[in-house]
Every structure is written in structure tokens, then in C-alpha cells.
Amino acid sequence: MTINELRRQMPLSTEFRPANVQDDSNPFGDVLSGFVKSVNQNSLKSSQMTDDFISGKDVEIHDVMIAGEKAKTSLDLLMEIRNKSIDMYRELTRMQ
């Protein structure tokens, strides 16, 4: 078997790329925008459950409280991520 025969059998790409890595142009931005959408959905769900409870629909108070706390906790987490991102940006600009 010659070297030319081996080259034909090998893939043309010499770049190593793990199988589980996606080729996204902005994965951090996608994750962050997905998290913001999730926080918004939690807030809307909590608001809807509160309105349903007030109007007398078949919604238990503990479900309303759980939805409210979930919305509050996810918003708090989003605000902490924002604060840490701003701190990181300020630190990087100071380093330059």
C-alpha cells in the first residue's frame, strides 16, 4: 500500500473537532438570550396563575406561590449574571 492510497482513504479535513462541540458563531449570546426568554416565561406564568387564582379558577395557592418564587429566583439569577458580566467587562477594559 502506498502513501497516495492512504491519503485517498483519509478524510480531507486535518482540523480536529470534538463531536459534541457545535459550530455556533455566538454560543454565549444564544445561551443568554435563551435564559432571558425563560425568565420572561416564568414571569408570565406566575402572573397568569395569580390572575387565575384571584378570578376564582381552579388554582391552588401553593401552586401560585411556587410559580411566584420560581419567577423571582430566576430573575435574581439573571440579575447576578448581568452584574458579574458587567464586572468582568470592566476588569477586562482596565487590563488593556
Which tens digit of pLDDT belongs to each residue from 49-66? 999 999 999 999 999 999
Assess if residue 85 is contained within a domain: yes
By residue range, what is the domain housing residue 88? Answer: 39-96
Per-residue pLDDT at 30 exceeds 50 = yes
Residue count (the chain)? 96
The reply to whether 47 falls in a domain is: yes
Question: Given pLDDT bands bounded at 50, 70 and 90, which one contains residue 16?
Answer: very low
Task: Kindly list the distances between the CA atom of residue 92 and the CA atoms of 49, 61, 85, 87, in Å, as whole numbers in the listed order.
Answer: 43, 47, 10, 9
Do the domain assignments include residue 34? no
> Does residue 84 lie in a domain region?
yes
Note whether residue 62 is domain-resident: yes
CA distances from 68 to 25, 37, 57, 77, 81 (A): 35, 16, 17, 14, 20
**Residue 30 belongs to some domain of the structure:** no
Q: Would 82 be classed as within a structural domain? A: yes
Query: Rounded to the nearest 10 degrees, what angle do helices 27-54 and 61-95 cross at?
Result: 150
Cβ atoms of 52 and 38 closer than 8 Å = no
pLDDT of residue 94: 92
